[in-house]
Chains A and B, each alone.
Chain A
Amino acid sequence: MIGVLIAVLVFAALLSLLLSPIEALGWWAGWYGEGLEHPHEQSVGPYRPIGKGKHPRQFVVYLDGIAKVGAPNYDDVQGLLDGLSEALPDTVILGDLMPYSVRNVSLLEEPLLGRFWRRMFQFKVEGRHTLLAFSINIRNLYQVLVAADPRYGRVYGRGEAQIILTSLLQAGYEPGSRVPITIVGYSGGVQIGLAAAPFLKRALDAPMAMVSLAGVMASEAGLNVLDRVYHLVGSSDPFPGLGHALFPGRWAIMRNSYWNRLKRTGRLVEVPMGPMTHNGAGGYLDHDAMFDGENHQARTIQVIAGILRDIAMPEAGRADVPEFPGERHTRPA
């Protein structure tokens, strides 16, 4: 009986992995009846730019980790975004995007599996049936793999860039203004942001940077268009290291990879975050766990806000990059 169950689970996991590129490719091929210039109309409604109405000196696009189901954020993520908005009065933050759908369709509103995902989301929020609820993470992890695949990544990046661009324009971004855009990605969200970055750069020609909160990413062409990448990693978090091991382009021997070129040109800033885990209790967004007299969430907000402040107002801040305890700034050889 257990053998049959395992076989069914493996089959289901393999089948969903096999079908995972269909959404991005189908969107590109026009199979969903949408034009390339429009994300799905459902995606237009829930945009709630945080801090809209500010006179922005910077736009921040937040791409959440693989537990994301749609526009609404989990409490800890919303806490991060609200904290950043408070700390940065001149910054507009877009935190409602669904990075794991090139059509920005919430899992909860998917026509075929919406009911299933609603149930899984309920389990996740209530902390019940954690293994079953993890299917959301697996589904989104597959989209990260799609974005990292050289055959599909370009299509994925273009779709995601379209969503981000639409979102930026709706939030009041003025093309040609050269107001800096910073992508803050959490875990797999970093890979999605990297896939979209070249298209965003081409469309807006604005200064662009990336804050990678425990990012799991491949060596992507998107790294080439970023002015700087800030890679925040906790010492108790194995996942960013796992990403490093799984994507050969990030190995030191691949000397000409985008990742190694990023390091060589001194555009990578590695920021140790102390003993933080990837997520949940003890994670970057946990406001109960304490480190150095400060809760994890507050510290993460403080570190990211420092980086963003420096990007928005380099003349007012430090001359180069923000400094944090133990920071390693990779310099050109």
Chain B
Amino acid sequence: MMFDFGTGLALIRDTLLFQPGTTELLRLGGAAISLAFGVLFAAGLSEAIGESVVLFVNRVSPRRFAISLVISAIIFAFTYLFFALSVYVVARYALASEAPFSFIAGMVALGQAPRLFGFLVFLPYLGLPLSVLLWIWSIGATVLSVAEGLELAPWEAVLAVAVGALLLITLQRTIGRPLLLLARVARRQAAGVKLVTDVRGLRDLIDDAPDEGLAPPKPARRRRGGQT
């Protein structure tokens, strides 16, 4: 099935506005699923731009910066596909849903549409509260989409998404470790530097990194043999 640009935009708009009916197109598969994955990748790219301060603080070059954004977007997309898989497992085995994985993956992917505005997290001072807002917005869109698509009661949809998230976190900390390591290696390779991502590490980078300018000139030390 093909649909035009306007229909695609309408699907994204309806998801953002929590309008019913968005899952009907996804149920048909084809172009709608492709659009959902496109949204997922674009949301990942946008979010990577919003959080790019990490790349700046790590002093990544402009070329590496661009590559890192794309790698981050791909990792974001894969993370949410794994999340979709978790939701699929919960829906299938706990809620006896017969929905195919591609349909659930499409719903989860389209549910990340609010994160298309993730680049706004880069805004000074306003960005941090905005990131929380976008996260809540995308959770809401995902829950509504899952409720409608799988014909679940709202609490069942919340349960499916929450247990799915819990399952994903558990997998990440157990058998998913090699994948996480792979993602970390990919990020580091793309950045071209040992990438520091934790808050304390970033703070230390700024406080402790090359200090010739800010350190007061030290008096020359006398060495043995009269050399200074």
Q: Using CB atoms and an 8 Å cutoff, list the residues of chain A in contact with chain B.
A: 17-18, 20-21, 25-26, 28-31, 35-38, 142, 145-146, 148-152, 154-155, 158, 161-162, 165-166, 175-176, 199, 202-205
Contact = CB atoms under 8 A, between A and B. Distances in A.
A205 B218 CA distance: 13
A26 B60 CA distance: 10
A161 B214 contact: yes
Nearest to B209: A36
B56 A17 contact: no
Interface in B184-228: 203, 206-207, 209-210, 212-217
Contacts of B179: none
A199 B206 CA distance: 10
Interface of B: 53, 55-57, 59-62, 65, 119-120, 122-128, 203, 206-207, 209-210, 212-217
Contacts of A162: 213-214
Given A145-B124, A203-B215, 10 more contacts: A17-B123, A18-B119, A21-B122, A29-B55, A29-B57, A35-B213, A37-B210, A146-B125, A151-B127, A154-B206
A202 B125 CA distance: 26
Contacts of A25: 53, 56-57
Q: Is the interface of A mostly helix, strand, loop or mixed?
A: helix
Contact of A31 (B62, B119, B210, B213): B62
Given A30-B59, A150-B128, A175-B216, A155 B123 contact: no
A158 B126 CA distance: 22
A84 B197 CA distance: 46
A202 B209 CA distance: 14
8 contacts: A20-B124, A28-B59, A29-B61, A36-B210, A145-B124, A145-B126, A146-B124, A152-B124
A28 to B, nearest CB: 6
Nearest to A218: B125
Nearest to B213: A37
Contact of B60 (A18, A29, A38, A202): A29
Nearest to B206: A154
Contact of A155 (B119, B206, B212): B206
A192 to B, nearest CB: 13
A203 B125 CA distance: 27
A12 to B, nearest CB: 14
A202 B215 CA distance: 8
B53 A199 contact: no
Contact of A18 (B123, B203, B209, B214): B123
B124 A28 contact: no
Among B65, B209, B213, the most chain A Cβ lie within 10 Å of the Cβ of B213
- List 5 tightest A-B contacts by C-beta distance, closest first: A37-B213, A175-B216, A25-B56, A145-B124, A37-B212
